Structure 1
Amino acid sequence: MLRDFSAQALFMGLLTAFVGFASSFAVVLHGLTGVGATEAQAASGLMALSVSMGLCAIVLSTVTRLPVSIAWSTPGAALLASSGAVEGGFATAVGGFLVCAVLIVIAGLWKPLGRMVAAIPATLANAMLAGVLIGLCFAPVRAIAFNPLLGLPIVLAWIVVGSINRLYAVPAALAAFVAVLAFGVEIPDGALAGLSAALLPKPEFVTPAFTVAGLVGIALPLFIVTMASQNIPGIAVLKVNHYEPNPGPLFATTGLFSLLSAPFGGHAVNLAAITAAMCAGSDAHPDPAKRYWAAINAGVFYVIFGLAAGAVTAFVSLAPPILIQAVAGLALISAFAGSALNAFKEADGREAAAVTFLVTASGVSFAGISGAFWGLIAGGLMLALSRLVASLRK
């Protein structure tokens, strides 16, 4: 293995970890606090996720000798943000995280469940994801309305840098956020002392609570979104780059690491999709057989970044919440555009996709269960009815 190590893979691993962490940690923090986590619990969750996905990437890439990139479930975090606080508080959400992790393990080990997830119409899965994401994608506009002097630099940085290189658009917006926080926001006395105190990692164990609302409103939608928008595309990225992974063990392993992070506030880790292309492509190494080191290096840096999660969370808390939400929204615009396109590009089932999207985007909960689940149910019933009518007409 050491003979396969290269400086090129080291640099790509660092870049992958930086882009993966910087571009979406704001979404994770917003999602965890959205379902009732305190600042300390959100920091613990961010740390647990980052460490877990780093270790998972190291283990899988070492064992398989494939560039298996791991990420936290960014769409899942956006789902949590749109769900809002659940009955029973963050403990109920953690119970949902644990159930979701178990389902991911089962999906990897028991093929029928994996087939059931794959059988969910892609139009409905994408419509649900688009409905989940759209609320956060409004945040940049709201940030400008809140204070143009604070919100506009963040959006402009994303636009200008993104027009040159889309990969660096969100890190540029994050850099603008840091500049705005440093020069445009009045920091209370003693806040910086609290920031230095947060440098040491402080994992917080959360005793899970298991309820029907947590199962149906958190666990099931989180499982579907994570599998449909992260794990399955992650396998596709590896195959596009001429690797032939065995999906089942990879899914099961990410589920196991999700189980480890859940009691400390982490919602889910999974195969990466976007950053997977960075480690699996020729930029990581000319020789495809040696690119796995890029994923291993990315895992090492994810662990390092995770240990600084407390300081990151404390720093972010110094700014008005709408500003970090704006960064999160900018990070999700590309995902929203892709999911909306895939949801409505086919005429067959377009109405069902629209129903799924609208019910999910409404953010309305029934019986304590989030709109994402009801959106998928409503769209599924609409699609089944339209197909039944079409078959009867024949």
Structure 2
Amino acid sequence: MLQPVLAGVVTALVGFASSFAVVIAGLRAVGADPAEASSGLLALCVATGVTAVWLSVRYRTPMTIAWSTPGAALLVSTGAVDGGFPAAVGAFLVAALLVVAAGLFGPLARWIAAIPAPVASAMLAGVLLDLCLSPVRAVVETPLLALPVIVVWALLTRFARAWAVPAALVVAAAGVAITRFDEGLDATLRPTVALTAPTFELGAVVSIALPLFLVTMAAQNVPGMAVMASYGYRPPLRPALVTTGLGSAIAAPFGGHAINLAAISAALAAGPDAHPDPERRWIASVSAGVGMTLLGLGAGLATALVVLAPPVLIEAVAGLALLAALGAALTAALTSADSLSGGREAAVVTFVVTASGVTLAGVGAAFWGLLAGGAILLLFRRRSDRPVDVEVLGADEATDRAQ
């Protein structure tokens, strides 16, 4: 009994410490103030934990749940939208309801899984690029704080990969505490619950809700199922989508952007290290869910550290956490491109447009990247006069490395 419990605790600790900075950076980018960002992090922790416990107990399967890390990176790249944070919350709610619809309406999930892999992976890479450039900017702007973070990350990536980002975050927090601890940290340590009434703006729905839905499905839920299958489990996808979608919808008014099936952390709970007996590994995901819920009580402290730190330093930690995801997305975009007529061109166009960060007609670059890539595929299909071979997404498992 102790082995799966400890495995779950490690899963929760690594998942929280490795990517909460990405979540807070994303919420702040779309207009959340510190209290709203802290509330969003707490809501995600509770929604993740409760959902994981429910699904694991209900199906006696190690179904680990995580927040959408690439979705948070999408928020960073999108930035503020018309209508401010209430409009972003409305977009979170729309994305959550789309996930529920995918669970209730089977063909919708299959349509998402059938998005051509080069286009989907290139969009994800474009979303991640700006954050992954942050460590370079941080070295130039705050070298005394950034260099120790990067050195620790590099060393542990070589010798203890799972702890590389958490350790880098500890070093960053220590640097912030030493240099800026007298700036009011104590006043923000309490868990914060802030309710934001959603508003619905077309620009926010197109810029945030649709890309968030696509990224969460393609880069989290699909590979999460694949990881579970690799360990011999066949969890029910449709109930999982409905449950995580409802969890996201409940968390949205409190600032949470999205929760989903985990991928890499699913391996921590579903693999033999969790327990030799596959029938007992569900205990690990229950333990992870409880641990994540309890870690949510530290959302105030986590947010305070992020707010006090130079923004580029927190973005640098987030970028380090997402470097593996960027590499995997680029690889998937280019290696799968050869299976499609015009696939390589479509992948490059999608990546470039998405990475540009442009906003046109109030709509963010991720949407326009998908549109541009799809147009290139359609152009080549007409030129070659043969159907495009649709490839089911080999979604990026590394995007959830920290989860």
TM-score range, shorter chain: over 0.9
- Residue identity over aligned pairs, in percent, reads 54
Other structure's SS at 1:308 match: helix
Give the aligned residue type for 2:123: M
Selected match of 2:91 from 82, 96, 113: 96
Task: Please name the residue that 1:228 is paired with.
Answer: 218
- CA separation in 1, counterparts of 2:130 and 2:372? 20
CA contact (8 A) 2:173 2:305 kept: no
Give the aligned residue type for 1:201: P
Task: Please name the residue that 1:317 is paired with.
Answer: 307
Task: Please name the residue that 2:362 is paired with.
Answer: 368
- What is the number of equivalent residue pairs in this alignment? 383
Structure 2 residue 353 is matched with structure 1 residue 359: yes
Summarize deviations over 1:312-345 as a string: whole Å, max 9, x none.
Answer: 1112222111111111000000100000100011
Alignment of 1:25-44 (within 5 A): 25-44=20-39
Give the aligned residue type for 2:44: L
Structure 2 residue 381 is matched with structure 1 residue 391: no
Task: Please name the residue that 2:46 is paired with.
Answer: 51
Task: Please name the residue that 2:394 is paired with.
Answer: none
Alignment of 1:128-167 (within 5 A): 128-167=123-162
Selected match of 2:180 from 183, 186, 208: 186
- CA separation in 2, counterparts of 1:176 and 1:140? 14
Give the aligned residue type for 1:162: T
Task: Please name the residue that 1:3 is paired with.
Answer: none
Structure 2 residue 291 is matched with structure 1 residue 301: yes
Summarize deviations over 1:125-169 as a string: whole Å, max 9, x none.
Answer: 110000000000011111110121111000001000110121111
Deviation at 1:177, TM superposition (A): 0.7
CA contact (8 A) 1:51 1:307 kept: no
Runs of 4+ in structure 1 off by over 3 angstroms are 186-189
Give the aligned residue type for 2:202: V
Give the aligned residue type for 2:60: R
Other structure's SS at 2:66 match: strand
Task: Please name the residue that 1:265 is paired with.
Answer: 255
Deviation at 1:392, TM superposition (A): 6.9
Structure 2 residue 55 is matched with structure 1 residue 60: yes
- CA separation in 1, counterparts of 2:37 and 2:108? 31
- The change in CA–CA distance for 1:55 and 1:392 in structure 2 (over 3 A counts) is closer
- CA separation in 1, counterparts of 2:306 and 2:118? 36
Unaligned runs of 5+ in 2: 388-403
Summarize deviations over 1:271-298 as a string: whole Å, max 9, x none.
Answer: 0011111000000000001000000000
Give the aligned residue type for 1:193: D
Give the aligned residue type for 1:364: V
Give the aligned residue type for 1:54: G
CA contact (8 A) 1:143 1:151 kept: yes
Report the aligned-residue RMSD: 1.2
- CA separation in 2, counterparts of 1:252 and 1:186? 43
- CA separation in 1, counterparts of 2:351 and 2:308? 34
- CA separation in 2, counterparts of 1:17 and 1:86? 32
Unaligned runs of 5+ in 1: 1-5
